[in-house]
Amino acid sequence: MLTPNLTVSPDGHLMIGGADTVALAKTHGTPLYVMDENMIRENCRGYGNVIAEEYGGNGLICFASKALSCKELYRIVDSEGLGADVVSGGELYTALKAGMPAEKIVMHGNSKTNTELQMAVTHGVGRIVCDNLPELERLDRIAEKSGRIANIMLRIKPGIDAHTHDFVKTGQIDSKFGFALETGEAMAAVKAASLYPNLHLLGLHCHIGSQILDTEPFAEAGRVMVQFMDKIRDEIGLTLTELNLGGGPGIRYTEEDDPKPFGEIVRAILAAVKESCERADYPKPFILFEPGRSIVGGAGLTLYTVMAKKVIPNIRTYVLIDGGMCDNPRYALYHSRYEAVIANKAAEPRTETVTIGGQCCESGDLIGEDMPLQTAECGDTVAVLATGAYNYSMASHYNRNPNAEMVMVRDGEARTVIRRETYEDIIRCDI
C-alpha cells in the first residue's frame, strides 16, 4: 500500500489507522475525508525530533495550515509542540479560535489587507512575514496606532528554482512573492525594514516550492540565506537572529513516487545552515520550518460512492462518483496524479484502467485518468489516497455542492471534525 497506515482487512476492506473505510462510508456518508490522527502526530514528532537532535531544539515547526485548516488540526499540532503558518485572516481566525497561542503563529501573505495586519498586531502574532515595501509602511503605522512593536521577517526570493529536474539558481525573479536577492531589492528592503520604529526585524524567510522530492535545493537555500545574513551583517552591522526556511518536502502520491523522507531533508538543511554559519563565524539562528503537505498529505484519503460507470468502447471507461473537483480540484488544476482503490474490494487486483469523473457540470472535473482500479460497480466505495493536503483546504462550492464531512481516525475510532455542510449552509449568505 502507498502509506504504512493502510492495510486490508480479512474481508477485503481497506483500513486506515485501524478503521474500516467501508464502514466509515456507511456511517458518515460520502464524499468523506478521512484523516489518520496517529500518522499526523508521528509526522509532527518526526520534525521535532530532527530539530532536537541536529540543532539542539533551537527552532520551531509551524504547520503550514494552507494544506489543511480546521480547528481540530490546530489543536493536534499545538499539542505536539508545533506552531502554525497562516496566510489569511480566515486561517488566523481559525487558529486563534482553536486556541493556538498567537506567539507560535507566523502570518504570511503577499497582499495582506490592513484588516489582516491589524488582526495580527492586535492578537500579538509571533512573526509577520512581510512581502513588500508598501506592506512595511502600512504595518508600521498600524503597529504605532496600536502601541505595539510588530515582530517581522522579510520574505526573500533566494533565486532557486527547485521544480526543474536539475534545480537552477536563476529564473525565480519572476515570482509574486517577496524581495529578490540578485537585484539588490532584498538588501534595500532589509535596510528599510530596520529603520521603522514600530517594526522589529527578527530575520529572513524563504520558501523554494512545494512537493520537492530532493534534498539539495533545500540545502542550497540554507546556504544562500546564511550568506545573505552574513552580507547584511557586513554592510549594515545588523545580526539577524532567525531564519525561516519555509515548507516543501514532497510525499508519495503514486507507487512510482520516491521522495526523500522529510527527516533527511531537514537534516540536510540544518547541516548546510550549521556549516555556513561556522564558515562565516555567524551565530546560528533560531530556525523555523513550515511543512504542510508532508504532515497531513499521506495521512488522509477520500471516500466516494460509485454512481455510474460508462464504457466508451476503445476510448475509455468512466467511473462516476458523488464528489470530484469540488472536494479535490488538484487534477483539474495541476493534473496531479493519485492512486485509487475500491475500498470494498481492496484485496482484489486492480485489473481495469479508468477515468474517475466527478459530479460537476464540467468535462475537466476528473480525479484522474488512466488509473488502475478493481472492477467498479454502482454502490462500490472508492478510496482516493493521499488526499490529506490541499484537498479540503481548496474545496469549492461550484454547482452549489456542500463541502464534505471530515472524520479523524485514532486507533480504529472515528470522530467528526468538520461536519457535512447542509443546503441551508450553502444559502446562509444569500439575501
Active site residues: 361
Q: Which is nearer to ligand LLP, 13 or 330 (CB)?
A: 330
Q: Which is nearer to ligand LLP, 106 or 371 (CB)?
A: 106
Is 135 within 8 Å of 110 (Cβ atoms)? Answer: no
Question: Could you say which of 20, 37, 54, 85 contacts ligand LLP (CB under 6 A)?
Answer: 85
Q: Binding to ligand LLP (CB under 6 A): which residues in 48-77?
A: 64, 66-67
Q: How far apart are CA 73 and CA 149, in angstroms?
A: 29
Residue identified by cell 487558529 is 95
* Burial call 304-342: b when 16+ CB within 10 Å, e when fewer: bbbeebeeeeeeebbbbbbbbbbbbbbbbeeebbbbbbb
Q: Which is nearer to ligand LLP, 108 or 345 (CB)?
A: 108
CA–CA gap between residue 271 and residue 82 (Å, rounded):
22
Residue 76 beta carbon to ligand LLP: minimum distance, rounded to whole angstroms: 16
Q: How far apart, in Å, are the Cα atoms of 267 and each of 48, 60, 156, 366? A: 12, 15, 22, 38
Between residues 55 and 390, which has the closer beta carbon with respect to ligand LLP?
A: 390
For ligand LLP, which stretch binds (CB under 6 A), given 90-98, 206-214, 267-275, 352-360? 206-214
| Nearest residue (CB) to ligand LLP, 262 versus 318 | 262
Contacts of 296 (CB under 8 A, 6+ apart): 35, 40, 43, 67, 68, 73, 388, 389
Report 370-399 residues binding ligand LLP (CB under 6 A).
Answer: 389-390
Q: Does 108 bind ligand LLP (CB under 6 A)?
A: yes
User: Could you write out the three-class secondary structure of 160-191?
Assistant: CECCCCCCECCCCCCCCCCEECCCCHHHHHHH
Query: With respect to ligand LLP, which residue has the nearer C-beta, 155 or 284?
Result: 155
Which neighbouring-strand residues pair with 142?
none
Query: Which residue, among 266, 209, 251, 215, has the nearest Cα to 388 in the 3D structure?
Result: 251
Tell me the CA distances in angstroms from 402 to 106, 163, 312, 414, 420, one per residue in order.
Answer: 30, 34, 30, 21, 7
Write out the three cell numbers for 99.
486556541
For the segment 248-267, give every residue that binds ligand LLP (CB under 6 A).
248
Cα separation, 229 vs 221, whole angstroms: 12
Q: CB atoms < 10 A from the CB of 82, how many?
A: 25
Quote the CA–CA distance of 261 and 250 in Å, as a whole number: 8
Asked if 382 and 319 count as a contact pair (C-beta separation under 8 A), the reply is yes
Among 59, 222, 247, 324, binds ligand LLP (CB under 6 A): 247
Q: Find the shortest distance in angstroms from Cβ 291 to ligand LLP.
A: 4
Total of residues contacting ligand LLP (CB under 6 A): 19
Tell me which of 21, 210, 344, 401 binds ligand LLP, using CB under 6 A: 210
Q: Identify the residue among 17, 109, 126, 246 touching ligand LLP (CB under 6 A).
A: 246
Residue 330 Cβ vs ligand LLP, minimum distance, rounded to whole Å: 5
CA distance 366 to 362: 9
Among 207, 223, 267, 284, binds ligand LLP (CB under 6 A): 207
The residue (of 64 and 409) whose beta carbon lies closer to ligand LLP is 64
- Mask for 264-293, x = binds ligand LLP (CB under 6 A): --------------------------xxxx
**Smallest separation, CB 213 to ligand LLP (Å):** 11
Q: Residue 251: CB partners within 8 Å, gap ≥ 6? A: 211, 257, 259, 293, 294, 297, 298, 386, 389
- Taking residue 88's Cβ as centre, other Cβ atoms within 10 Å add up to 17
Q: Taking a C-beta distance cutoff of 8 angstroms, is the pair 252, 2 a contact? A: yes
Q: Does 28 bind ligand LLP (CB under 6 A)?
A: no
Cβ 218 to ligand LLP shortest distance, Å: 11
For residues 122 and 317, what is the distance between their CA atoms, to the nearest angstrom?
A: 55
Q: Report the residue number, 66 or 267, with the smaller CB distance to ligand LLP.
A: 66
Residue 338 as a binder of ligand LLP (CB under 6 A): the answer is no
Nearer to ligand LLP (CB atom), residue 338 or residue 390? 390
Site string for ligand LLP, 298-337 (x = CB under 6 A): --------------------------------x-------
**C-alpha pair distances (Å), 188 with each of 179, 180, 184, 269:** 9, 10, 6, 26
Residues contributing to the site for ligand LLP (CB under 6 A) = 64, 66-67, 85, 108, 207, 210-211, 246-248, 290-294, 330, 389-390
